[in-house]
Structure 1
Amino acid sequence: MPDHRPEIRLGEYESTELGTDQLTTADVTRLHALQARRCLSLTTSRTGWRLKAEAAVGVLALDRVRLVVEPKFAIRGEQLMTWLAYALHTPVPTTARRWVARTDGYTDLVAAALLEECEKLLREGLRRDYVRRQSLEPVLRGRLDVAAQATRRYGQLDQLHVRTFDREAEIWDNRVLGVALQAALSLTTDSRLARALHGITDAFPHSGTPAAALRALERTQYTRLNARYRPAHTWARLLLRGGGVTDLLTDDGTTAGGFLLAMPMLWEAVVRRLAAEAAAPRGGLPVPGHGETGITVRGDLGNASTFRPDLLLSFPRPAPDGPVLLPVDAKYKRYDRHRVSAGDIHQLLTYSAGYTPADAPSAVIIHPQPGGYDRRTLRVMSPQGSLGVLHVLGIDTQALPEDATAWLRSSLPRASACVRASNA
């Protein structure tokens, strides 16, 4: 779909100057709402506005300009699609690679993924289910609505109020895809992708709003009848949410014409799956880091606060010892180039003190590292002895997820190994 608005491109953490005539009052309101969610920042400048991108990539179609934030740090292009599909537990779409060469980037890739899954559903035949309808017909079909016939037609029989129950494709499994295809069509500027989306949109019923479609997706239960819809619904949910892997940018007025994905949230989802799969062969299992196993601060002003690691792994130990916990935290930071910040060290030391043995506190940081793997061990010391051991692991984001899992399996410390390392 042609978009004649001027396009402004910048990468993660980059900034640009905007004139006062480039942003409307509605644009400023939307950008301030996104600033509250830490997707970007907007401040006044001598010439108008200064907009700085944070770690959220995608497209934001404003009233007068089209803003494109490109992934510059860790994961780009087709590889970004690979990791996103891994985080969402959905197959990597093959058709989406046709748009990798385009600089429109991430948004077009997700739209292409939705297109591929919808084309597959059409080839297999859309699911149909019984839909109850009330209509006015010249002949009797289904059941006669006696009350409506008597009160609205006053005994006349030239038109009949009937209730039918027929198998149709006008069901929410299909309607949410029609709504998502329309949303994708409004975001893409690639002419080939736009033509393909336009050609398939009419094949799906698309009545309803994005908010209603999202509510329907949340209610959807998958059985053998509609299990094949799961991948398409995954990409539809991502588009309709404006890019949120879980609940980022839900439909509250900030998502219209926009698609932004918070890269730290994506990296957390990747790390949770990577670490869980890497620990499984050694008996490691993810356990909740909240509730009875949470770290809680009480007695301060307001409600109690909590510390919650991105992942908490439980490793078995021989009887009579119980399982040992290992906290794992995902950091979307350049820890391949910079030292670990004091704030992150304090955070991980809190996790290690709260979850691991008192004589061997330890924790793990996993960060993205384009082009290679890396691991180093930080030992935090005090005059009284060791405060904890922090294992800093860098994952090669240019590798395939299964290769990264294999490397992490050999690098993730066992609970018993952490004990020996700390006592050494």
Structure 2
Amino acid sequence: MPERIVLAEYRSRTIEGLPGGVARALAATGAVIAGRDMDGRVRLTASSMVGLVRAGDVELVVQPKVGVGRLLWLLGHARNPSGWRDDDVTVGEEYDVVAGTAVAFAHRAGQALAGGILRGYRSVDEASPILRGRLREADQMRARLGVAMLLEVRYDDYTVDIAENRILAAAARSLLRLPGVPATTRAALHRIHVALSDVTPLVPGVRLPSTVTTRLTRRYEPALRLARLVLASLGIEVSADPVVGRVAASGLLFDMNAVYEDWLTAAFRGALERHGGAVDGQRVIRLDEAGKLAARPDITWWDGPRCLAVMDAKYKAPASTPIGDIYQVVAYCTALGLSDGHLVYAGGTSVMHTIRRAGIRIHVHVVDLAQTVPALIDQIDTLAAAIATQTREAVFASSRAATPPASVGPVLVGADGR
């Protein structure tokens, strides 16, 4: 059995006897920063990456603060807010990310296949010694003129080799290659793989085939949602390097900063667009007159060419607002001509900072990811409504305001006005 090291994200731990090559391999995946303490022992500090990595005889597990079930919900909701359901993920908090993902998928896929493997019609073009379906006359004349042995035909085949089964089979194969999958779940995944062995494997790197939900395919939907999530996730592989003494490493990691930003973008898109306009993520804006300084705010809300609001997602819970975060949003507001900007943290305290001389207001909002899914959605809806109201008030005020005095340069003011 491999040695298992468990860390919470952003936490540190000193590991006795950890080989240097293993430590370097783990650090190369981005999951941890490896260093040494005053006694020369290896100290691992987790980053924002959560998941599982195996290097040599060591398994490193970095657990998300929000829990595995909530992590998978955030990932799924970001990809499909209208189609993802909270009950798609039914795993206990004792599982790590890889084990939880595998358990949830094996459970849902097993339920989907329990009613029989789904079949469907697939259009087939092939050369056949017998006439089946419809003869492709043009292809027959072009490819086999004067040859009576084979006929170029087209027909609809009622088969298990359809997109839905290909996606489930590909997800099962991907999970079977990962370390850390419980033995009982690995056996269940193997049964799924065997049951779907007649389907054509998906080509890695090619976009997944689309599927349409019908009365017949509805029982597959929970498993398909999880399967798409598995296949969209990138596995981690680090090659061995004997020169520096690094061993090979593999596993599955998620960057919680990206997970939170992607989810918040999708959630705001649904909530803010009910008030009009369009929400965009990572749109390039120019900070200088020459257009040479490019920036990408996390979330922006637009009415045609006019930006209505800018929001920056921060997956952290600071005791006070970091000054660097303030600088960042002030720059966005200045370039976009906005009087208000928004920071959305995953914890902390809501507050507002007004920038002296410039008059720009930075609103600090807090989203509690530990809430139930309905309460979490309500938080976003309430926050979106507040941003929409504030935006309307700012637009009305600017239309009535006189020409502002020349700016002397922004000076930060705290919530207490000092």
Task: Flag whether TM exceeds 0.5 (same fold).
Answer: yes
Task: Tell me: CA distance 1:350–1:206, structure 2 relative to 1, closer, same or farther (3 Å).
Answer: farther
Match of 2:268 in 1: 275
Q: Is the 8 A contact 1:179 1:206 kept in 2?
A: no
Task: Tell me: CA distance 1:22–1:222, structure 2 relative to 1, closer, same or farther (3 Å).
Answer: same
The 5 Å alignment of 1:63-142 reads 63-72=56-65, 75-89=66-80, 90-92=83-85, 94=87, 96-97=89-90, 99-101=91-93, 103-122=94-113, 123=115, 125-130=117-122, 132=124
Q: Take 1:258 and 1:168, find their aligned partners in 2: how far apart are those partners?
A: 34
Q: Take 1:48 and 1:345, find their aligned partners in 2: how far apart are those partners?
A: 38
Q: Take 1:14 and 1:290, find their aligned partners in 2: how far apart are those partners?
A: 33
The Cα of 1:199 is off from its aligned counterpart by: 3.0
Asked whether 1:14 is paired with 2:11, we answer yes
Q: Residue deviations 1:98-144, cap 9 Å, x none?
A: x314x2233233223333443354237424343758799xx96859x
Q: Residue deviations 1:27-50, cap 9 Å, x none?
A: 845742x33xxx432346775754
Task: Tell me: CA distance 1:420–1:66, structure 2 relative to 1, closer, same or farther (3 Å).
Answer: same
Unaligned runs of 5+ in 2: 241-247, 402-418
The Cα of 1:230 is off from its aligned counterpart by: 6.6
Q: Is the 8 A contact 2:50 2:61 kept in 1?
A: yes
SS, match of residue 94 in structure 1: helix
Q: Take 2:52 and 2:192, find their aligned partners in 1: how far apart are those partners?
A: 23
Q: Take 1:124 and 1:325, find their aligned partners in 2: how far apart are those partners?
A: 51
Match of 1:57 among 50, 53, 69: 50
Q: Residue deviations 1:358-411, cap 9 Å, x none?
A: xxx221011112xxx852101121xxx135110000011122232222331344
Q: Take 2:197 and 2:213, find their aligned partners in 1: how far apart are those partners?
A: 22
- Say which is worse superposed, 409-418 or 163-172, in terms of deviation: 163-172
Match of 2:332 in 1: 351
Match of 1:390 among 344, 359, 362: 362
Match of 2:352 in 1: 377
Match of 1:363 in 2: 341
The 5 Å alignment of 1:155-170 reads 166-170=157-161
Match of 1:5 in 2: 2
When the two structures are superposed, what TM-score results if normalisation uses the length of structure 1? Answer: 0.71
Match of 2:406 in 1: none
Q: Residue deviations 1:265-322, cap 9 Å, x none?
A: 111012112323332343353146636xx2255879xxx5521111111369xxxxx9
Q: Take 1:214 and 1:80, find their aligned partners in 2: how far apart are those partners?
A: 24
Q: Take 1:84 and 1:22, find their aligned partners in 2: how far apart are those partners?
A: 34
Q: Take 1:232 and 1:251, find their aligned partners in 2: how far apart are those partners?
A: 26
Q: Is the 8 A contact 2:236 2:249 kept in 1?
A: no
Name the count of aligned residue pairs.
372
Unaligned runs of 5+ in 1: 244-248, 317-321
Task: Tell me: CA distance 1:351–1:284, structure 2 relative to 1, closer, same or farther (3 Å).
Answer: same
Q: Is the 8 A contact 2:267 2:380 kept in 1?
A: yes
Asked whether 1:264 is paired with 2:257, we answer yes
SS, match of residue 107 in structure 1: helix
When the two structures are superposed, what TM-score results if normalisation uses the length of structure 2? Answer: 0.72
SS, match of residue 91 in structure 1: coil
Q: Is the 8 A contact 2:236 2:253 kept in 1?
A: no
Q: Is the 8 A contact 1:41 1:51 kept in 2?
A: yes
Task: Tell me: CA distance 1:328–1:231, structure 2 relative to 1, closer, same or farther (3 Å).
Answer: farther
Match of 1:415 in 2: 391
Task: Tell me: CA distance 1:22–1:329, structure 2 relative to 1, closer, same or farther (3 Å).
Answer: same
Letter in 1 for 2:263: V
| RMSD between superposed Cα atoms in Å | 4.4
Q: Is the 8 A contact 2:9 2:50 kept in 1?
A: yes
- Say which is worse superposed, 227-236 or 75-84, in terms of deviation: 227-236
SS, match of residue 56 in structure 2: coil
Q: Take 1:95 and 1:231, find their aligned partners in 2: how far apart are those partners?
A: 6
Q: Is the 8 A contact 2:287 2:332 kept in 1?
A: no
Percent identical residues: 21
The 5 Å alignment of 1:17-56 reads 17=15, 19=17, 21=19, 23=21, 28=24, 31-32=27-28, 34-35=29-30, 39-43=31-35, 47=40, 49-56=42-49
Q: Take 1:85 and 1:29, find their aligned partners in 2: how far apart are those partners?
A: 30
Q: Is the 8 A contact 1:329 1:365 kept in 2?
A: yes
The Cα of 1:260 is off from its aligned counterpart by: 0.8
Match of 1:327 in 2: 310
Match of 2:407 in 1: none
Q: Take 1:164 and 1:176, find their aligned partners in 2: how far apart are those partners?
A: 25
Q: Take 1:250 and 1:66, find their aligned partners in 2: how far apart are those partners?
A: 13
Q: Take 1:252 and 1:173, find their aligned partners in 2: how far apart are those partners?
A: 32
Match of 2:404 in 1: none
Letter in 1 for 2:62: V
Q: Is the 8 A contact 2:163 2:211 kept in 1?
A: no
Task: Tell me: CA distance 1:64–1:129, structure 2 relative to 1, closer, same or farther (3 Å).
Answer: farther
